[in-house]
Amino acid sequence: MSPQSSDQKPSPDVYVGLLFVSVTALIIGCVFLVLELNKYDWALAPAA
């Protein structure tokens, strides 16, 4: 096996792109969850 030169970096493939898409979707989902919970003052259950 020949050693890989340090100036060549592997190019990102489609799976890296899908990873960024999924992480972005998770972050957006968390933001919408926070916005929805702010309407109810973060009260998840009625006070007993």
Convert the pLDDT of each residue in 3-19 to its tens digit.
666 678 888 899 999 99
Q: Which pTM does this prediction carry?
A: 0.65
At a CB cut-off of 8 Å and minimum separation 6, what does 37 contact? 44
Q: In the structure, what pLDDT confidence band is assigned to residue 26 with cuts at 50, 70 and 90?
A: very high
Give how far Cα 7 sits from Cα of 10, 12, 13, 20, Å: 10, 15, 18, 25
* Amino acid identity at 38: N
